[in-house]
Homo-oligomer: A and B are copies of this chain.
Amino acid sequence: MTHEIAVIPGDGIGQEVTPAAVEVLETLAIDFEFVEADAGDAVKEETGEALPQETYDLAASADATLFGAAGETAADVILPLRTAVDSFVNVRPAKAYPGIDAVRPETDLIFLRENTEGVYAGHEDRLTRDVSTLTRVVTESASERLAEFACDYVAGDDHDGFSIVHKANVMRETDGLFRDTVKSVADENGVETDQVLMDAFATRVCLDPEQFDVVVCPNLAGDVLSDLAAGLVGGLGLLPSANIGPDRALFEPVHGTAPDIAGQGVANPAATIISAAMLLEYLGYDEESDAVHEAVEDTLENGPRTPDLGGDASTEDVTEAIGERL
């Protein structure tokens, strides 16, 4: 069976790390058909559109999409692409790796971020010169879908349960609906949960990240708290993510375009290659996925390393080293 994979490198180091991940996928004995498409600042400059219709359509029909990064136009690219794959959950692991400098080396968290609504539902108005509003939307159905995914996730990956992060003491109706819905789905499935206020989570995860494991949260909370966890593990450089929909999915490193080093061939491809490992798992290639994870971890620990990790290897050196370990 052939899998069509949309490849959208985007801007900056996206142009370097995305081909690196494709190179790794190509070393595997899987029948992939890679189809490349444009998105981001550069194509906007040329055509006026950050996300051309063909690119959107490709992501909406391919089995999976691998996305690199976009610059100024990031929100105009990634938010519609998440919609293109009908993604209802953003899976964001934040894990420290042996040998990599981290504020909290014991961090090993999985964020399951609601990916369709909250403040991202995005109805805004300028009511008067003085007053602007945004309508934050929380639905029972989206909360349920996320919770069902979370229950499957913890069962499949052998976790004890999950934490529900919310701010229902202030957003009583909306985050109350989120919290109660997620909790009741978990209860029905016999999955243990605890509930943590989003501000308390921010304090507690710094003090002791090991008290948390799988974290289920609304969209913006997931955005900010997963980036906080990124800080604890040493930065965005190594973090992958998966935007999962019912029939397709989109994988992307959490980092951006890194304009300061773009074009020099020294970008760290690890986050994108780990994202590709998540893609493999999504398509059912668990063994291959594990092998890629292990090859990346081995390379992070023993080198070669790119300059961001104190080494002097190139993107290509690291990519080859990972390929050789497969």
Contact partners of A224 in chain B: CB under 8 A: 198-199, 202, 224
Bound form: Cα–Cα A232–B204 in Å: 10
With known contacts A130-B139, A137-B132, A207-B234, A202–B227 Cβ distance under 8 A: yes
Contact partners of A170 in chain B: CB under 8 A: 75, 79, 119-120, 122, 220
With known contacts A133-B135, A133-B136, A220–B167 Cβ distance under 8 A: yes
A200 at the interface (CB under 8 A from B): yes
Bound form: Cα–Cα A170–B228 in Å: 18
Cβ-defined contact, B207 with A103, below 8 A: yes
A29 at the interface (CB under 8 A from B): no
A44 at the interface (CB under 8 A from B): no
Please tell me which stretch of A7-15, A48-56, A171-179, A296-304 contacts chain B, meaning at least 4 of its Cβ atoms lie within 8 angstroms of it: A171-179
Residue from the list B124, B126, B174 in contact with A132, Cβ < 8 A: B174
- Indicate with 1 or 0, residue by residue over A86-127, a CB within 8 angstroms of chain B CB atoms: 000000000000000001100000000000000110101110
Cβ-defined contact, A206 with B232, below 8 A: yes
A312 at the interface (CB under 8 A from B): no
With known contacts A125-B173, A171-B124, A230-B203, A133–B137 Cβ distance under 8 A: yes
A67 to chain B, nearest CB (A): 17
A117 to chain B, nearest CB (A): 9
User: Which residues in chain A, 204-260, are within 8 Å of chain B measured between CB atoms?
Assistant: 204-207, 220, 223-225, 227-228, 230-232, 234-236
A280 to chain B, nearest CB (A): 27
Cβ-defined contact, A202 with B173, below 8 A: no
Cβ-defined contact, B131 with A203, below 8 A: no
Cβ-defined contact, B200 with A227, below 8 A: yes
Output the nearest chain B residue to A119 by Cβ-Cβ distance.
Answer: B171
A40 to chain B, nearest CB (A): 14
Given A134-B136, A202-B225, A206-B228: 13 more A-B contacts, CB < 8 Å: A103-B103, A124-B172, A124-B174, A126-B173, A131-B137, A132-B177, A133-B174, A134-B174, A170-B220, A203-B227, A203-B236, A206-B232, A207-B234
- 25 A-B pairs whose Cβ atoms sit less than 8 Å apart in the complex: A119-B136, A119-B171, A122-B170, A122-B171, A124-B174, A126-B173, A130-B140, A130-B141, A131-B140, A132-B138, A132-B177, A133-B135, A133-B137, A133-B174, A135-B135, A135-B136, A136-B136, A198-B224, A202-B225, A202-B227, A203-B228, A206-B206, A207-B231, A207-B234, A224-B224
4 residue pairs, one from A and one from B, having the closest CB atoms = A206-B231, A124-B173, A202-B228, A199-B227
